[in-house]
Amino acid sequence: MKIDGNPYRSVWVDPADAWSVRIIDQTRLPWALEFLRLTTPREVAQAIRSMQVRGAPLIGAAAAYGMALAAREDAATPALEAAADMLLATRPTAVNLRWALHRMMNRLRMARAANRVEIAYREAGAIADEDVAQNASIGRHGAALIEDISRQGTNRPINILTHCNAGWLATVDWGTALAPIYMAHDAGIAVHVWVDETRPRNQGALLTAYELGKHGVPHTVIVDNAGGHLMQHRQVDLCIVGADRVTRNGDAANKIGTYLKALAAYDNNIPFWVAVPSSTIDWTTADGIANIPIEERAATEVTTVTGRAMDGSVDTVRVAPSDSPAANPAFDVTPARLLTGLITERGCGAASEAGLRGLFPDLAA
Ligand code: MRU
């Protein structure tokens, strides 16, 4: 995607040295566009933990490049396994991390130690390229849904509500939930996006609004609690969100607050779609509520807010009494029964085991 006319991916190998890994520091957006250079698997792990890189597919791709950096340091199997364990421990909910690390380790175990560095970069590059292609395909399938609604002749922009950031910053490119919106907009369909601010870290207000603004997509930031009201007043035509893990029965873990939006959409008979590449499907797990590990993050993310002061400086201020404890579950699980369906790279399908098997008979096996 483009920022001020320049094309970017969210992770790439520096062409100047052909080995160091570059990322956009997402903790600095939208106030500053800064690039970091990662040179060790520990730096990659730290970037994932601190959410300088974030979003399920991007975490997976970044970790894959982390394995390439690990292979440069020591390509012996025990060292690679230790690096994979360290990267896996960074964030528990997004299954793309486990998926990418398993894929890298399977590929590297088959190779002779002398070839592993080259193979690791090639495999990480393949993971990144496939993510871009899959998200583009999600975009095409999702844009068709938006076009269907626009054909119903509403004579006004199609209003789409999204939560958190499932745009190109959360993937290698295009995004999952935002890809259909970009493609519909590019095709000339009038769209308008309600952007949930997404407390506590405000990925919606900071990152989704930034992305949409840079692409010229009309949007409005709302507080997380406004969605139900807008739905009751028919100001939302459909919801599209991403996910960090979809279990094989179609339950979807996504940023905390997604479940409440799905409940409101269900109550108001508004389509609620979850856009995911196949790397986000956890075929080993059926019941999402019981089995998906939910990351619990620092209480300070709840008791403080970071923003730009009127003098231009970026500051963090408290929004709760300093002696009040806070809880910070970072994700919730929306049961499959509340979802209209899943938008995947192979098309749209029911959020159910039958729906997923129909789309991915090869992977389900
Ligand atoms: O904690 P984050 O910012 O990594 O959470 C991201 C989300 O919840 C996204 O919606 C999800 O990863 C899908 S990204 C295409």
The answer on pLDDT for 2 being more than 90 is no
Candidate of 255, 281, 296 to mutate for ligand 1, largest count of ligand atoms within 8 Å of Cβ: 255
Q: Which two tokens stand for residue 363?
A: 């992977």
Cα of 115 from ligand 1 centre, angstroms? 34
DSSP characters over 41-81: HHHHHHHHHTTSS-SHHHHHHHHHHHHHHHHHH--SHHHHH
For the cut 80, the answer to whether the pLDDT of residue 154 exceeds it is no
Does the pLDDT of residue 143 top 80, yes or no?
yes
3-class SS shares of the chain: helix, strand, coil, % to 5? 45, 20, 35
The predicted-structure confidence for 329-346, as pLDDT tens digits, reads as follows: 999 999 999 999 999 999
Ligand 1 centre from 174 Cα, in Å? 14
* pLDDT computed for residue 317 by the predictor: 96
The tokens describing 5, both together, are: 């006319």
CA atoms within 13 A on the CB side of 245: 27
d(CA 299, CA 282): 28
Q: Which fold has domain 2-129?
A: Four Helix Bundle (Hemerythrin (Met), subunit A) (1.20.120)
Provide the 8-state DSSP code for 317. E
What DSSP string describes 153-219? --SSPEEEEE-S--SGGGSSSS-SSHHHHHHHHHTT--EEEEEE--TTTTHIIIIIHHHHHHHT--E
- Is 325 within 8 Å of 241 (Cβ atoms)? no
Averaged pLDDT score across all residues of the chain: 97
Q: What angle do CA 259, 88, 115 make, to 5 degrees?
A: 135
Ligand 1 center to 97 CA (angstroms): 12
pLDDT band at 153 (very low <50, low <70, confident <90, very high): confident
pLDDT above 80 (res 268): yes
CB distance 55 to ligand 1 below 6 Å:
yes
Q: What is the mean pLDDT of residues 235-246?
A: 98
* Domains 2-129 and 141-364 agree in fold: no
What three-state secondary structure class fits 90?
coil
**Percent of the chain residues past pLDDT 90, beyond the cut:** 97
Chain segment 93-111, per-residue pLDDT in tens? 999 999 999 999 999 999 9
Domain 141-364 is of which CATH architecture? 3-Layer(aba) Sandwich (3.40)
pLDDT tens digit sequence for 18-52: 999 999 999 999 999 999 999 999 999 999 999 99
Ligand 1 centre from 111 Cα, in Å? 33
Catalytic center residues: 244
pLDDT at position 365, please?
Answer: 86
Question: Is the CB of 275 inside a 6 Å radius of any atom of ligand 1?
Answer: no
The answer to whether the predicted template modeling score (pTM) of the entire model surpasses 0.85 is yes
Domain boundaries, the chain: 2-129, 141-364
Mutate to test the pocket of ligand 1, among 29, 91, 165, 172 (most ligand atoms within 8 A of CB): 165
Residue 279 has pLDDT above 80, yes or no: yes
- With contact defined as beta carbons under 8 Å apart, do 84 and 42 qualify? no
| CA-derived radius of gyration, the chain | 20
